[in-house]
Chains A and B, each alone.
Chain A
Amino acid sequence: MTKHIQVVFKGKLQESAKSGGCGNCQSSCQSACKTSCTVGNQACEK
């Protein structure tokens, strides 16, 4: 790799748009009083 930049994670978000969307993942309320989670914190059910 180069001396200035190292790739740590290769993101696949754009690809996931094609295969994803099954909707089986957990709902993700973001309010303080709940199990609150930002969506990025979740696992995929697939």
Chain B
Amino acid sequence: MEKIHIAPAEAAKLHWFAVPDGWLLLDVNSGSVLRVDEATVACLEKIAAGEELDQEAEEIAAELLALKEQGLMFSDDAYLGQYEPPEPVLKSLCLNICHDCDLRCKYCFASTGSFGGRRSMMSFETGAKALDMVLANSGGRKFLEVDFFGGEPLLNIGVVKRLVAYGREREKAFGKTFRFTFTTNCVGLTPEIAAWAEENNISVVLSHDGRPEVHDRQRVFPNGRGSYDVVTKNIQYFLAHNTRGNAIVRGTYTAYNKDFCEDIKHWLELGFPRLSMEPAVETDGPRKLTEADLPGLKEEYWRLARLYQERREAGKPFDFFHFRLDLSHGPCLPKRLTGCGAGYEYMVVTPEGELYPCHQFVGREAYKLGTVDEGVWPEAKDIVEKFRQAHVYNKASCRGCWARFFCSGGCHANADLFHHDIMQPYELGCQISRIRLECAIWLAVKQKEAEICG
């Protein structure tokens, strides 16, 4: 029999990783996921290192080649070098309805609501112009997302309500649908606002950090007092009256609570079912997460993944945003290359009506794109184009990254923050994304296997 040879470069098209019950393999360019055994891993390692294959490895290599024939292994990316991002069509807006906040969270990127500028509120007129702008510039897009953000948007709830009513009225003429969301610290989340959100089908992101001592350490009132009690009570009321299931509780973990799985357990005790927990992004200071934290964080994510799986098996599932991964009907490849769309599909509007690529860029003057009155300035077209071209294939580190079709190239704002270059992803963010993805892939596999066996 002729010796089988598979070039090391072929192995680079795969990603294999250990999971609690064995090994999984992702064929990066097709998105296929396979369960493999130790011997296969040993064979792949030999292939990657360009070593001679022994007899068992040869057998496995033959299996791998058979799978390649079926398009499930060593797939190429036919799109590489061919991809042209969509024309800049605005479909999503973040309205910074209020640059002020009733909390002084220690890690707030917005410098406690004022975004480094003065405290201010968006007027109804400015907001209405922004909605008109997205209606007029969204081309064939049917769904338009608008997130009321801040600062704390509830401090300007009167304008939010008027804008929702205005949007609902105006969307009809364009045959489009606004999808409204607001993100709140929940201090001012009254029963009345809960009823309004429910009635108007507004998705809501509720900020909470978990255990009382963790929450109160970061999320404090201007007088330094913790907000846990008020916020927890408000969220419980809100969720008890939220029948649409369109509210999510999200938290931020920092170097102070690297054991964030405990915070998630606390949420579950409080009866919060849909959850998201994110690492704080800090360039400095005591909350900053570093490379040295990664092994511990990896263990923590796997602890969470096992908890997720145990609860699912026990018939008490919960939803964790980053583990929600649909490997059968996920987004198409073009979407996966495009990422967040900041700067050309998505923009933020400040209370004064200025446009920036996204909420994180507010106040980074070099990135100002225009105003709601003037639209995107002609001289800002270069910035828009730069964001449009900031896709996976154009970023050196993403081109070779196995996670590229899930992550889509990371957050430009973080890249800019750490490297002053939107093309250079923030590595720690990348590493955490990859850990979470491995967990999510494993959980998707467990689900699928349960369906097959069940």
Is the beta-carbon distance between A13 and B30 smaller than 8 angstroms? yes
B351 at the interface (CB under 8 A from A): no
Minimum CB–CB distance for A44 against chain B, Å: 5
Instruction: Pull 18 A–B residue pairs with CB atoms less than 8 Å apart, ordered by A.
Output: A9-B328, A13-B30, A13-B336, A14-B75, A17-B333, A21-B332, A23-B335, A28-B408, A32-B252, A33-B278, A34-B359, A38-B433, A39-B338, A40-B325, A40-B405, A40-B440, A44-B335, A45-B143
- Taken residue by residue from 81 to 119, chain B's Cβ proximity to chain A (1 for < 8 Å, 0 otherwise) reads as 000001001011000000000000000111000000000
Is the beta-carbon distance between B332 and A7 smaller than 8 angstroms? no
Query: B92 is contacted by which of A27, A40, A43 (Cβ under 8 Å)?
Result: A27
- Residues from chain A with a CB closer than 8 A to the CB of B325 are 40-41
Stretch of B211-219, B302-310, B442-450 that contacts chain A: B442-450
B349 at the interface (CB under 8 A from A): no
Query: B336 is contacted by which of A3, A7, A29, A39 (Cβ under 8 Å)?
Result: A39
B178 at the interface (CB under 8 A from A): no
- Residues from chain A with a CB closer than 8 A to the CB of B353 are none
Query: A17 is contacted by which of B40, B78, B203, B436 (Cβ under 8 Å)?
Result: B78
Is the beta-carbon distance between B33 and A30 smaller than 8 angstroms? no
Is the beta-carbon distance between B248 and A5 smaller than 8 angstroms? no
Interface centre among A16, A28, A30, A37 (most CB of B within 10 A): A30
Minimum CB–CB distance for A22 against chain B, Å: 8
Query: B335 is contacted by which of A2, A10, A20 (Cβ under 8 Å)?
Result: A20
- Residues from chain A with a CB closer than 8 A to the CB of B24 are 8
Is the beta-carbon distance between B72 and A10 smaller than 8 angstroms? yes
Is the beta-carbon distance between A38 and B436 smaller than 8 angstroms? yes
Is the beta-carbon distance between A14 and B29 smaller than 8 angstroms? yes
Minimum CB–CB distance for B399 against chain A, Å: 16
- Residues from chain A with a CB closer than 8 A to the CB of B60 are 4-5
Is the beta-carbon distance between A36 and B276 smaller than 8 angstroms? yes
Is the beta-carbon distance between B30 and A43 smaller than 8 angstroms? no
Docked Cα-Cα span, A25 to B332, in Å, equals: 10
- Taken residue by residue from 402 to 439, chain B's Cβ proximity to chain A (1 for < 8 Å, 0 otherwise) reads as 00011110110110000000000000010001001100
Docked Cα-Cα span, A34 to B203, in Å, equals: 12
Stretch of B164-172, B188-196, B258-266, B339-347 that contacts chain A: B339-347
Docked Cα-Cα span, A42 to B339, in Å, equals: 11
Is the beta-carbon distance between A25 and B327 smaller than 8 angstroms? no
- Residues from chain A with a CB closer than 8 A to the CB of B406 are 38-41
- Residues from chain B with a CB closer than 8 A to the CB of A24 are 141-143
- Residues from chain B with a CB closer than 8 A to the CB of A38 are 322, 406-408, 433, 436-437
Docked Cα-Cα span, A33 to B359, in Å, equals: 10
**Chain A residue at minimum C-beta to C-beta distance from B392:** A39
**Residues of chain B in range 32-57 having any CB-CB distance to chain A below 8 Å:** 32-37, 39-40
- Residues from chain B with a CB closer than 8 A to the CB of A35 are 147, 181, 183, 203, 205, 248, 250, 276, 321
Interface size class of A (residues with CB under 8 A): 35 or more
- Residues from chain B with a CB closer than 8 A to the CB of A40 are 325, 330-331, 336, 405-408, 437, 440
- Residues from chain B with a CB closer than 8 A to the CB of A27 are 91-92, 145, 340-341, 345-346
Docked Cα-Cα span, A2 to B345, in Å, equals: 45
- Residues from chain A with a CB closer than 8 A to the CB of B280 are 32
- Residues from chain B with a CB closer than 8 A to the CB of A39 are 331, 335-336, 338-339, 406-408
Question: DSSP class of B's interface residues: helix, strand, loop or mixed?
Answer: mixed
Is the beta-carbon distance between B63 and A9 smaller than 8 angstroms? no
Is the beta-carbon distance between A21 and B72 smaller than 8 angstroms? no
Docked Cα-Cα span, A2 to B342, in Å, equals: 45
Docked Cα-Cα span, A31 to B33, in Å, equals: 27
Minimum CB–CB distance for A46 against chain B, Å: 8
Is the beta-carbon distance between B92 and A7 smaller than 8 angstroms? no
Is the beta-carbon distance between B408 and A29 smaller than 8 angstroms? no
- Taken residue by residue from 310 to 329, chain B's Cβ proximity to chain A (1 for < 8 Å, 0 otherwise) reads as 00000000000110111111
Is the beta-carbon distance between A21 and B334 smaller than 8 angstroms? yes
Docked Cα-Cα span, A2 to B440, in Å, equals: 25
Is the beta-carbon distance between B448 and A9 smaller than 8 angstroms? yes
Docked Cα-Cα span, A38 to B440, in Å, equals: 11
B360 at the interface (CB under 8 A from A): yes
- Residues from chain B with a CB closer than 8 A to the CB of A44 are 329-332, 335
Interface centre among A14, A22, A31, A37 (most CB of B within 10 A): A31
Docked Cα-Cα span, A20 to B63, in Å, equals: 31
B127 at the interface (CB under 8 A from A): no
Docked Cα-Cα span, A31 to B140, in Å, equals: 27
B401 at the interface (CB under 8 A from A): no
- Residues from chain B with a CB closer than 8 A to the CB of A13 are 29-31, 333, 336, 405
Is the beta-carbon distance between B78 and A14 smaller than 8 angstroms? yes
